[in-house]
Copies of this chain bind each other. A is one copy, B any other.
Amino acid sequence: MTVDDEIARLAALANPHRFRIIALLAEESLHVSELARRLGMSRALLYMHLQRLEAAGYVTGHLELSDDGKALKFFEVVPFEVTTNVASIAAAVAADTESTH
């Protein structure tokens, strides 16, 4: 695990909106507009946060066709476990300085 990777994983989680997104999706898979309604935030903003979460691998989205023919983008959580401690950080930094030299 490289430093950039670990930081990306941590940074993607470090946001109150994204916490609430994960908490909601943990209960049930929801499509974007419904999620925006429940969280009381704009769809455009939600998209940004979903992109960050998806880029880090915490959630995944897929288009689904509803009964009445509408295309809905559903998102669901990808179970994860992020563990960071002194040793893992030291190892990441060491791995980085090794590869650069």
Given A82-B85, A84-B82, are A16 and B7 neighbors across the interface (CB < 8 Å)? yes
Q: Which A positions have Cβ atoms within 8 angstroms of B? A: 3-4, 6-7, 10-11, 13-16, 19-20, 22-23, 26-27, 77, 79-87, 89-90, 92-94
Given A82-B84, A83-B81, are A89 and B23 neighbors across the interface (CB < 8 Å)? yes
Number of copies of this kind of chain in the complex: 2
Q: Do B89 and A85 have beta carbons less than 8 Å apart?
A: no
Checking B11, B23, B83, B90 against A26 with a beta-carbon cut-off of 8 angstroms, the contacting residue is B90
Given A83-B83, A89-B26, A90-B26, are A14 and B19 neighbors across the interface (CB < 8 Å)? no
| Chain B hits for A11, CB < 8 A | 10-11, 14
